[in-house]
Structure 1
């Protein structure tokens, strides 16, 4: 399967979440549970929290409706062993908190060693929690604001947040890009966040090891492509989408 990540620019996006969580066949559920129990025995730092998976995407003109269903982190991790087209493959959907500084840089995170993607460069953000789903609708702005506060210590008012579009890869996984406008320059934000991460690390492990700035423009793609550390593909698509506007 060819690796392709597309960018879809839209401000009219709705995510409808099934009322019931994803029910797995008994045999598969047992395998997931056994897999998770094995991780626990080996001292995994992971938490078996909620994960939102894509069912279908409906695009009509400039409007997009995404159907999703809730599962859990154990199912997600286990499903990475399954074939790409397996009916119970988890196709993750989440809100990417795209922190954009006053001088037009995007702030990205470097994942800590105790995460499922150690050392990877990706957008701020992660799986939704139950408070991000209201009346059967996933609220990407609420999720992105919560993640920005938790991961980098920045509280951003809703008035400075806007859905710009989403990325989708060949597996069907989706990152909803929430642009979050900051008043400070890139260097100021990075210094503030590093102090925040250092303070958090005194009490335990942080999700992020560090942050870096990516200029929004062709030079930003060069920054990402020249990294020695791995970079999630959706981040490149977001940077390209933000500067092309489409």
Structure 2
């Protein structure tokens, strides 16, 4: 069954202590897996990220509790087949849309953990997104969009809510961001920004206007979003 696209108006997200048995009990496997990945992608960094261990969606509000872990454990959890069903990767992406309706996405660079994948800028939250004990995905997505594309948030009309696509262990939160320029103009500006970077996270830019433009390298939640947006 295709995952629904839910409208979320409010986020209530916190971070606290949580002992993740997977990361503790399978430490040797996790470390070996990450070192093997780094041999082909030396730029991978085992930084600290946030995953979610409990959540609830009710009355257009997403409540959730995050915990801190390392990127190596996250990568192994993902690559081993999301082996702990009680854990979710709840992340925010900027759903960039041109004034002509076209959606603008990035093609992930070869040195990243998601090389070749096509989706909106953003990603798994980290410690930079924590304010007190709260997780601020609103600020996170604005920062990530600017870092990856060079486009400043004030160049968009930004919706206060979110489109949420729950897809098994993944919970994608898409922030509607509509530009005053066409999708092609945004693409050209992003490509110009990437050309100036020594090691850009994105390899290229892809435009999709609906279901007909679904790319095989798009994750399922992006495909679901595009199908819903065309209705």
| Cα distance in 2 between the residues matched to 1:158 and 1:57 | 32
Gaps of 5+ in 2: none
**What SS is found at the alignment partner of 2:107?**
strand
Q: Does 1:223 align with 2:226?
A: no
| Cα distance in 1 between the residues matched to 2:229 and 2:221 | 12
Q: Does 1:117 align with 2:109?
A: no
| Cα distance in 2 between the residues matched to 1:158 and 1:132 | 22
Q: TM-score, normalised by structure 1?
A: 0.82
Q: CA RMSD of the aligned region, Å?
A: 2.5
1:139 matched to which residue of 2? 136
Give, in angstroms, the shift of residue 124 of structure 1.
Answer: 1.0
| Cα distance in 1 between the residues matched to 2:188 and 2:82 | 40
2:5 matched to which residue of 1? 7
| Cα distance in 1 between the residues matched to 2:24 and 2:153 | 43
Q: Does the C-alpha gap of structure 1 residues 17 and 114 become closer, same or farther in structure 2, counting only changes over 3 Å?
A: same
Count of equivalent residues: 229
Gaps of 5+ in 1: none
| Cα distance in 1 between the residues matched to 2:70 and 2:173 | 19
Give, in angstroms, the shift of residue 72 of structure 1.
Answer: 1.8
Q: TM-score, normalised by structure 2?
A: 0.86
Alignment of 1:1-246 (within 5 A): 4-18=2-16, 20=17, 22-24=19-21, 26-40=24-38, 44-86=42-84, 91-157=88-154, 160-161=157-158, 162-170=160-168, 172-200=169-197, 203=198, 205-215=199-209, 220-224=210-214, 227=215, 229-242=216-229, 244=231
Residues 40-96 of structure 1, C-alpha deviation per residue, up to 9 Å, x if partnerless?
456622111233222222122222212222222100111134354536x75322111
| Cα distance in 2 between the residues matched to 1:57 and 1:26 | 22
Give, in angstroms, the shift of residue 23 of structure 1.
Answer: 4.3
Residues 188-216 of structure 1, C-alpha deviation per residue, up to 9 Å, x if partnerless?
1111111111111xx2x21111112222x
Residues 210-232 of structure 1, C-alpha deviation per residue, up to 9 Å, x if partnerless?
112222xxxx11110xx3x4111
| Cα distance in 2 between the residues matched to 1:114 and 1:42 | 8
1:167–1:174 contact (8 Å) kept in structure 2: yes
Q: Does the C-alpha gap of structure 1 residues 206 and 134 become closer, same or farther in structure 2, counting only changes over 3 Å?
A: same
Q: Does the C-alpha gap of structure 1 residues 16 and 108 become closer, same or farther in structure 2, counting only changes over 3 Å?
A: same
